[in-house]
Chain A
């Protein structure tokens, strides 16, 4: 098998502007070499900042203008670093196509699907608009979009996330490229949709006889789809091997650590592996704290409903029932997992508990009893008092901290509002103590959120909740936006905090593997209904509903040898 793409000693540096007359350069990729053979899938794996995306984007020179590339990128024997822009443009989309992480922002919102698929067809293949439309319909059919003819006229916002990604793949496939570069194509998607998109890509790779360069931070995902794996860290290749070797006999300590830190459905650790611990040879402490099943109930929810008003016609409005009656009891020190796909009402349910929906948005019903008092019927001052005891951590660590507040201000504010601590000095001391508890030090107090990584920000958001000494924490997809390795650290932190402070969690996630690690009881939600509710072990081992089984089946399992998606079809 010959190599379609061969990257040899690629270095990428970013010019960072002049300091004292000397140009400052930041080396993002430090000499990377690997090959992509024909008709095969090569996965680039690494954490954020490992240089994997920069490496892949250098192939088509889709980097910002301050990037400098050296080395050789041979595509079909031609060095892409030496080709001019015009030749490169002829290659882009035709021989090498790209699919990016966020389908919503990759599609142009003002053009319909047909226009976006026809553009490369008319530009590279010299088709007329009519021919292109016929081909576009075939492509949509091929990527598994129902009613392709009708969908051609649709605009991106009318499609779901999974469908948008399918359209992106159709656009990429339009000119039958020889190489498809997929940059974290499934990271923004739910596990079930991720599975479908991966199956689709594996199938298309076979039917189109193309190669796939698949970029991901998750070895579990990569193991299911790839033939070869390139593990990167800090701009360098740590290990290159066929996928069986990576999973069965990893050589590099970092690869081993990456494999260990993903929560799995089969094992039952008390703590997850963390990269640094694993590399340093420290074993994760493995004594599980036994949960007291007779602990007092802190939160009792009965028949919680939430609906939104949708505009209907000129004057009418229609009720959309987002949550249709949820019942659960949460005991002190326990965790309730809430699982479901996007649109299942799990986040709406979480926000309803905190009364974070606008009053006018729709009606709310049911009872949320916190120590016998109904949160939903509480008056203003009482509710303000109660807020201290039930707190929330949101999904996006980049959006949940005020960018204009220092960490110190962020942590002091809740204490000031609720008059916790006598003066600023005491509050500062408390804030520092909490920062240390979540694994940051006092120097963070004077810094701004943009100086921290996603995982660190999520720790700060957790510390902010803890300033109020809450009893219940709603974690709304709190680890979904994080890399697998960082996710492990945050999950460990959450477990430690629960053990130390006796916190009760409502853990909302789309990933059953994560929920299994942390939750004692699981609610499975679909279209606003609770379809299954059981103790975690019971739910994983003997799911009663088809929907639960589907969610379980969607969890990436890594390389298992047999149960690999569409391999060898």
Chain B
């Protein structure tokens, strides 16, 4: 309808003062209140991850700084538990020195002990967000865990997007035999239930961050592949690509210089959607013990520990991890939505 296209033409005219599509998207993103707020939250998390990665914060997460299962500061110290059923006797101890064969040496030992410095480590009764079974600080663990989980999520999403985009571009652009082969690979991957596929990869890879990234990326590229392939098929026959062919642009140039920037918004949105889902997958993997190594901490390993603690009534580790994860994932998802809104309408107008 030309009336609508007229008005969108006016919108374009108003926005086209300078810069390209990305600048316009950024301007639009800036006006989205929810988008800016969520971007701020994601930014804070990323700063924390950076600080944790450079060991500026939470480097000593493995030290047992509190009493086992120290409660959060807000709740105050744990009440002293009754250690036995027999009431403690009041009055002086019975003197056993006459029948104790070691009694003569006590003084000597005390003398020798004085030569060494002994320091009584006073373990904190309470910690800001509580402590775990070994008395490690939950706050430090959550920060260190955030580093691992978010790095894994981001890295896996980047790798998956690279695989998906490259294969999708090849399949969509060339079609024919190349397309058939890649479709066949795609079908094999999607025919297997994804969680089963993740376990299968987890079984053959050693444990560690790199392995988790590889597992998630190798199983998660399929959706991106399909979308990028469809976009390439659509753009391949567009007149601007034909024009590029007519002036002699090579296939690689047409694929990556001409078409890719025009479909990159799809890849970008997919990238951020996958960050969220990969963080959740990493948590599941680590929870099941197939994720990061035992000497590392991630939100998933913390959730796995929290399960046992919860039975004993120590809920703070669970609460801390869940809150952190919920805030980050929600903020990231809202940010992704805002990003898509900012990137998409422009392109719809352009086509």
Contacts and interface: CB of A to CB of B under 8 A. Distances in A.
Interface residues of B, number: 38
A62 B3 contact: yes
Interface size class of A (residues with CB under 8 A): 35 or more
Given A391-B246, A448-B16, A101 B1 contact: yes
Interface string A64-105: 101100000000000000000000000000000000110000
B243 A464 contact: yes
Interface string A35-48: 00000000000001
B258 A402 contact: yes
A468 interface: yes
Interface string A427-465: 000000000000000000001111100000000010011
B174 to A, nearest CB: 10
Interface string A1-37: 0000000000000101100000010101000000000
Given A57-B1, A183-B3, A394 B239 contact: yes
A399 interface: yes
Interface in A376-409: 384, 387-388, 391-392, 394-396, 398-406
Given A57-B1, A183-B2, A448-B16, A403 B350 contact: yes
A406 B351 CA distance: 16
Interface of B: 1-4, 6-14, 16, 20-21, 31, 176, 238-240, 242-250, 253, 258, 261-262, 347, 349-351
B243 A418 contact: no
B264 to A, nearest CB: 8
Interface of A: 14, 16-17, 24, 26, 28, 48-49, 51, 53-54, 56-57, 62-64, 66-67, 100-101, 183-184, 354, 356, 360, 384, 387-388, 391-392, 394-396, 398-406, 413-414, 417-418, 447-451, 461, 464-465, 467-468
Contact of A183 (B1, B9, B349): B1
A63 B351 CA distance: 20
A467 B10 CA distance: 31
A448 B7 contact: no
A400 B239 contact: yes
13 contacts: A24-B14, A54-B7, A64-B4, A101-B2, A387-B246, A391-B246, A391-B247, A394-B242, A394-B243, A395-B239, A403-B351, A406-B20, A451-B12
Contacts of A403: 21, 240, 262, 347, 350-351
B12 A399 contact: no
A77 to B, nearest CB: 25
B248 A57 contact: no
Contact of A64 (B7, B12, B31, B243): B7
A40 B176 CA distance: 56
A360 B1 contact: no
A14 B239 contact: no
Contacts of A404: 20-21, 261-262
Contacts of A447: 16
Given A387-B248, A391-B247, A400-B243, A14 B10 contact: yes
A461 B7 contact: no
